[in-house]
Structure 1
Amino acid sequence: IYYLPKKTRLKSSVGPTADTIAKYKYISKNGKTDGYYSGNTFANQIGISTQVPHVIEIVSNNTNSAPRDVKIGNRRFNIRKPLISITNENVYILQMLDLLSNLDTYSDYDYEDARKCFLRYIEAHKITRDDVDQYIRCFPLTAFRFYYELRLDNVLL
């Protein structure tokens, strides 16, 4: 990746961070979405986990089928292939269903607190029941279980 270094106050140049490079390479580039943050990374972002992961988990179209660890600078990223091809239209739905598939693994709180976090996420991204119905069958049964256990089907339009 080529970049124009930025000058700091100390007259030295600074390149892009490892997170910026990973986001550009695996998540979104030029307005096209190819991936999303997953696992503890995403659980922390929406507030159902207080854990800040050392290894950032990313699901991306821009990788082969085998999950693999990639090191960029001093940061490690675990990159894996999605169950369904990721687009700008389905990224938030797939990200939510992916987390629901392994909710017990990542949630630090009870189901009611997790439900509130998911409700905020659903409202922020305007996810509807039809959107979820279109993709949920491609995910493990645990996604179904938590989807209904958290009563998310009652809040979707």
Structure 2
Amino acid sequence: MLKEYLEKTYGYNEPIFLTDLTAKTANANALRQSVKRMVKSGTLLRFDTGIYYLPKASRLLNKSYLDPLKVIVRKYIQNNTETFGYFTGATFANQLGVTTQMPAILEIATNKEATKGRLITIGNQKVRLKRPALEITSENAPLLQFLEAFSQIDKYAELSGNEVQTILRHYIKKQKFSRSQLLCVVPALTGTTAKKLIEGGLIYDFTP
């Protein structure tokens, strides 16, 4: 029965967190025993402490594989119902297209971290976690991510100032950021960042 539930809820080669499963059952001990039996039979594989997945071999690799990035995103950025983190630093600068740099260490701001900065390893991927300036929600995550990137843009940009401005303006319009949204994240907005938004004219790309 547990296998059918996991197949329906998660699918194959997707991270399954034991804490999520125990939160949905009244008998955590029985659940752990079921998980233990599935692992012993090979029906369920253990990725790391408290993290499992249903294996399904790919045609290319001829073996099952759980992408560490899926675990990272699920654990520190978002699940099926909420967003509680985002990529930042060189990671997001690369996603924006202002740098071709591919960082060896992923940087993430997340509600799941209480320190100013901590380095961890998940699978073979190093990740630097830090607490956000403002609690992250599904509603404010995209804007907080953008503002943090904007505040550090000179540190990562490999393009000319005009090219960077064009990319940033396009992103603001694509995300349909509004000034009312901006007002909601003012506590996370430094004076320097606010000044750059105004002096660079980007503030006018936010919808009224």
TM-score by length of 2: 0.70
2: CA distance, partners of 1:49 / 1:11 = 31
Deviations 1:33-59 (A, max 9, x none): 010010111011011111111111111
1: CA distance, partners of 2:61 / 2:158 = 44
What residue is the counterpart of 2:140 in the other structure?
90
What residue is the counterpart of 1:130 in the other structure?
180
- 1:28 Cα shift? 0.6
Which of the numbers 82, 86, 89 marks the counterpart of 1:39? 89
2: CA distance, partners of 1:10 / 1:113 = 39
74 and 155 in structure 1: CA distance in 2 versus 1, 3 angstrom threshold: same
How big is the alpha-carbon RMSD for the aligned residues of Structure 1 and Structure 2? 1.7
Local SS of the residue matching 1:70: strand
**One-letter code of the match for 1:73?**
G
**One-letter code of the match for 1:81?**
R
1:149 counterpart = 2:199: yes
| Corresponding pairs, count | 157
- 1:120 Cα shift? 2.1
- 1:110 Cα shift? 2.3
Asked if the contact 2:133/2:188 (under 8 Å) is kept, the reply is yes
10 and 104 in structure 1: CA distance in 2 versus 1, 3 angstrom threshold: closer
Contiguous gaps of at least 5 residues in structure 1: none
Local SS of the residue matching 1:144: helix
49 and 12 in structure 1: CA distance in 2 versus 1, 3 angstrom threshold: same
What residue is the counterpart of 1:25 in the other structure?
75
2: CA distance, partners of 1:60 / 1:10 = 34
**One-letter code of the match for 1:50?**
T
Larger Rg: 2
1:44-123, aligned counterparts within 5 Å? 44-123=94-173
- 1:137 Cα shift? 4.3
Contiguous gaps of at least 5 residues in structure 2: 1-50
Asked if the contact 2:57/2:65 (under 8 Å) is kept, the reply is no
What residue is the counterpart of 2:21 in the other structure?
none
Q: Which of the two has greater strand per residue?
A: 1
**One-letter code of the match for 2:82?**
K
Higher relative contact order (CA 8 A, sep 6+): 1
- 1:10 Cα shift? 6.4
Asked if the contact 1:55/1:78 (under 8 Å) is kept, the reply is yes
1: CA distance, partners of 2:71 / 2:89 = 20
2: CA distance, partners of 1:153 / 1:63 = 30
2: CA distance, partners of 1:96 / 1:26 = 18
Deviation >6 Å, runs of 4+: none
